[in-house]
A and B are shown apart, each in its own frame.
Chain A
Amino acid sequence: MNILVCLSQVPDTTTKISFTSDNKELNKAGVQYIINPYDELALTKALELNEASGGGSITVVHVGGADAEPVLRKALAIGADQAVRIDTAPMDARQVAAEIAHFVSSASFDLVLAGRESIDYNGGLVGGMLAEYLDWPLVNVATSIEGGAGGSMIVCRDMDGGREKLEVYLPAVITCQKELTEPRIPNMRGIMAARTKPLQVLAPQGKGADMHVLEHALPPSRQACRFFEVHQMDELVEALHQQAKVL
């Protein structure tokens, strides 16, 4: 299959978040960027699907600036065949989705995989918007993906209070949840090969963003912890009941 994997780059999960003095953006000093964990799963799943069927090619796409190229190279080292960067600084999910949709319509993909959400802006929106732009089916939050009969895929997805197994015909957009697979670590051969794999930079099609951040803030700090001894469980329960009013 020809599979497209949408990659976002996000601050490493251990990053202590702070904002610039005008609170307009993230304070990037010392921040390490990684492939969004769900996108890494999407990439690994794409490799597994093509290994199982014995063919096809995998493209990774990122909408953003040149600072994301190390992350794209890493994806090539893990096993993607080619990378595409759409050169703009997106401000919201709709802008990202519109750019990717434009790229997809100029190519021929059977399947687009994205993460369930990015762990920076946590929208969980790009996959669904992309599916609508393309008028393709969407399966959100997939925990397993397997090839079915006659060009269909069998997918399990998380839903409120349970899980659903469903069949979807290609082409489709599927967003990936953990449990799908385990991420792969690039080996030396992959890292060498990545240097010569194509990384294409495309001009944006130019849709602007709808949503603009006014300001960022840190969550309100919490009051100091009130401690109870092991023999004071009635007092703790009383505090939860009377003071916090949560019991």
Chain B
Amino acid sequence: MLWFEERPNVAAPRPEESGLRLEVRRFLDGECKAGGFVPRPNNWVAFDRAFSIRCAEQGYVGTTLPKQYGGGGKSARERLVICEEMLAAGAPLGSHWIADRQSAPQILRHGSEALRARLLPEIAAGRCTFAIGMSEPDSGSDLSSIRTAARKVDGGWRLDGRKVWTTNAHHADYMIVLCRTAPRGEDRYAGLSQLVVEVASDGVTVRPIRNLAGEHELNEVIFEGAFVPDDNLLGEGGDGWRLVNEELGFERSGPDRFLSTYPVLRLLVAETGKDPNRYQAVAIGQLLSRLLAVRSLSHSIADLLANGERVILAATMMKDIGTALEQEIPQVAGRLLEIHPDPHGSGFAAALAAALLNAPSFTIRGGTREILKGIVARELGLR
């Protein structure tokens, strides 16, 4: 196709949505000024339950969930607008981010009615934190090799095994755990299932893992015969591979894959001032052009979704180049300004430090850059 389609989701200022943008921006501005949060990069991980509840009161959580489950019944486009605004502002979204981004849609599509009725309203109210239970000590990129297993018992499942790198498990109420429900056979993708596990259950232990910035985001989660009721199985059982890939689709395709360090770009431009030298102007122009290009690609995914077309190729490319940009922004910012990154400082110095220290994870979490390129190559027909 060599022509330019008329696309509804043009990534440009759009008058019809400026009302919503301004409303979210005013809310965030008020929060920020009242000391509700300090804008930081990588803030979609930062846990702040009270902030999430205030967001939910405005309708900024569970936006697309059906009204019968306490959601806003709004369009994906409206959710995108809200998410972009919150990310650009560097607001602490960690308490609801994973639930809103991937767990809720997963439960809505594949959960039992009992589970939906119980959990979705809590998520939409901003009162419920979810964690992602995919990775294990011996299974990262190759998720089909996981060993955490659930065996069938009366009324549910008994879960044994160990997950690792679990973001915010220490704050989480629930965790969607990928596990084996049938022994591994010829087809390594068969016999996997997804269970919604209550983290406070007996037989679940959460241990902290400090990251290189000294922050406690990651955890190890150990399951020792933890009981999971039947209602908490997603899908039919045995279809976990398809389900986990759908979940990864939600995890990989959003604006958090190119805006994580936007707050650094904002501060860089502010610190540079109105009169940049040629070198600064060129470097900022390069970053901004890339941001706009990735954002356009990201919005084109919304068009594909609306037309019922496959999004995996566009979404994977977006995450790959978007996360590369997220890493590039603090590198360039650090070169342009003579301000030392300072984890204990404030303003640009603190934001730069947080971005530089967290940057290595951007191209690992949610699927490594190498795995993403492999998916793109597969979609191109190379493998």
Q: Do A and B bind each other?
A: no
The interface of chain B, by Cβ under 8 A from chain A, is: none
The interface of chain A, by Cβ under 8 A from chain B, is: none
